[in-house]
Structure formats: C-alpha cells, structure tokens
Amino acid sequence: MFRFPTHAWERRKLGDHAIIKGRLGWKSLKQEEYTEEGPSMIAGKHISDGHIDWCKVDHIPRWRYDESPEIMLKNGDVIFSKDGSLGNPALIENLQGLATINSTMMLVRVDKTINPKFFYQVMKSNQFERLVYLKVSGSSIPHLFQADMNEFNFTAPSIEEQARIGDFFEELDHLITLHQREP
C-alpha cells in the first residue's frame, strides 16, 4: 500500500545529480547507413506511453554505435525528445542489447541520489511541462538544450520515498494499460 511522503521535499538542480547527453549532430550519419540488424537507435517516434517499441526501432552499424560512447544506453536511463515535439519520455529497463539515441533525443542518467523511476515521473509532470513552456514559447522550432536540462529544477523527497513513489506510479501505469486493452 502506498503511503504519502512524510519528509520534506528538497529542490534539486538536475545538473548536480545527473549526466545529460545528446547526440552531437549526426556525425554525418545518413539514413542510407541504417541496417536491418545491429545496435538499436531510438527516436521519439519509437516511444509510446513511456515504452519503446523495439520492433520498430532503427538499427545502425556497430562502428556508428561505438563512436558515441556517451549516449550508449543503460538500464535506468531516461530518454526524451528534445526537438520538435518535446518530452515523450521513456525509462530504459530490461535492455536486451546495444542501444543508443538519435540526434532528436536526449539522455539523462541520474546519480544514486535520484531514483530513475521517480525521475521518469518527474519528466511526465507539470514541473517538466513548465520548463518546456518557458524555453520554447515563441520559438518556431521547439528545442531543449543540454544547458536547459542542467539547470532544470525539480523537487524530490528522500531516495527511499522516491523509490516508493516511482514503484507506485509504475504499477498505476501498468493497471491503466491493462484496462485500456480490455474490450
């Protein structure tokens, strides 16, 4: 059973608690280089309701994956669209093989003081929506920079309470998905 947090929440600056990276340009990567097999390359179009459709992701040659170690995905990473349609986060869990992000995405790898499931929920919250609103108002092509994310402030309780909150919302998301599938 979920209990509401009892300890004070603290304001945190993401750059103090995470590594934030995006693909630096395309490094001349062209669509013709995509392969049928090889490391997965995730774009926003491959994410739906926080889940990656691994059957639809693009693939790149291994050497293209190896040239950008800073964006090699690990379990616990949170990724999201940083260009155009901003947001649409996904939490990387149960990673089955080599994977990376394309140039429209950003990767956030939180440190041990932030629970990845909790941070994924922060990315779905009005705290993140406010950042998007403030940074892209009046822009013809919406874009979030790494510097914007480094300065992103959010509130968080203790790591133990973050884990409980993250688990609670993960279960709630799962139940909603199950109910949406019912005839």
| Residue 111 dihedral angles phi and psi, to the nearest 5° | -85, -175
Q: What is the pLDDT of residues 37-78, one digit of tens each?
A: 999 999 999 999 899 999 999 999 999 999 999 999 999 999
pLDDT for the residue numbered 23: 80
Q: What residue spans define the domains of the chain?
A: 10-181
The DSSP output letter for 98 is -
CATH number of 10-181: 3.90.220.20
Predicted TM-score (pTM) of this structure: 0.89
Helix, strand, coil share (%) of the chain residues, nearest 5: 35, 25, 40
